[in-house]
Chain A
Amino acid sequence: MSDDHPDFDHPDVVLVPHGPMLLRGAESVQDLEGTVHAVDRPVVALCRCEKSSRLPWCDGTHKVIPR
């Protein structure tokens, strides 16, 4: 590995501080009720605050929840 052309970190799962979990390359996601949702994008944001209006996806609601 050279310094100019390194191997970059490119994790499949990234936890955003006080925010969602970013998930790359998934084909389907099961929500808390057991319903399976198809994934049709390369990256999705899964709600971790459980306050989203469209679980299991994050809809930005976490930003207006007082911490």
Chain B
Amino acid sequence: MRLPKPRGGLSEWLVARLGEPGLTGSAPGADSWDDESISLWTLHELSFRGFEDADDRAEWDPDLLGVRRDLETALEERLRARWSASDASAAAAPSPAEVPSALEAIVAADDGPSLADRVRRHADRDQVLELLRQRSVYHLKESDPSAFVVPRLPVRAKAALMALQFDEYGDGDPNRLHSHLFARGLEAVGLRAEYGAYVDDAIPENLEMNNAGSLLGLHRRLRGAAMGHLAAFEMTSSLPSRKMVQGLERLGLDGPMSAYYDEHVEADAIHEHLAARDICGTLAEDEPDQAVEILFGAWTCLDVEARFATAMLGVWEEQS
């Protein structure tokens, strides 16, 4: 992947700096949420697959780590402020044994709009392709953020996360790796499928959703929130994936793309239990102070998805 297009002063500075390691000087402030979001996305990407036109050593450049920390602090503060204002955070802190049912309660209370519902019944072909371009920012690196958490977990949660990740990564068969299935789906519907293909088209709500997942995955301190985020993601996937299959079939987009969603109907009906009980439940038992963090991560996963869905529906509203 090549460095993304800048969206303001900070990302302009960052892209220049990454492309020419000799440059020095301090970073300007961000001009906008868009500028801030693409900058943090770019800095995180240095720890995933990186950029062919950036110096690989930039991942651990102390100046850039300083910029990253400031952006991460602002993002985390925003996420925690939203969580603190939510009804879910007002409920009594769960005991470790109550964590799986507390996760179910958070998922049951989620009233964000459903993009899958829209795809199933009404969205036209262009809208679905636009959604797939946006979703590709995550699905082309699907489950990679959670993989960073493996060494940071106690025994039972670690074994369970590995069982889940093994399935995400194709059970040892590269042809079944989920991000690969999504890439095959993109090709089949006539979209670009290379890693990071549509980052330049990502709306800020989508970048924020991706940045939140990477932030939680990359920090050991946030391991509980990362696993709560994973649980909420898996717990809200099977039924919407089935609606995606129905919508793709309605539009004649069946084939590899609907096969990707079809796989998630079945896989995530399993993963949701592994994540809620065997990962989050045992993590909370072994590290009780993580119980509330797990719920913060779960709620945040649903909140950033709801903000993304609201923004997408708004864009479609304007077009019609």
Contacts and interface: CB of A to CB of B under 8 A. Distances in A.
Interface of A: 8, 14, 16, 19-20, 22, 40-45, 53-54, 57-61, 63-64
B161 interface: no
Given A41-B167, A54-B265, A64 B270 contact: no
Interface in B242-284: 242, 265-270, 272-274, 277
Interface string B124-155: 00000000000000000000000000000001
Interface of B: 155-156, 163, 166-167, 171, 238-239, 242, 265-270, 272-274, 277
A53 B269 CA distance: 12
Contacts of A20: 269, 273
Contacts, number: 52
B273 A19 contact: yes
A52 to B, nearest CB: 8
Nearest to A47: B269
A43 to B, nearest CB: 6
Query: Mostly helix, strand, loop or mixed at chain B's interface?
Result: helix
Q: Which of B166, B242, B266, B274 has the most CB of A within 10 A?
A: B266
B265 A60 contact: yes
B156 A58 contact: no
Contacts of B277: 16
Contact of A45 (B156, B242, B273): B273
B99 to A, nearest CB: 15
Contacts of A42: 163, 166-167, 171
A57 B155 contact: no
B62 to A, nearest CB: 38
A60 B238 CA distance: 6
Given A8-B155, A64-B239, A58 B163 contact: no
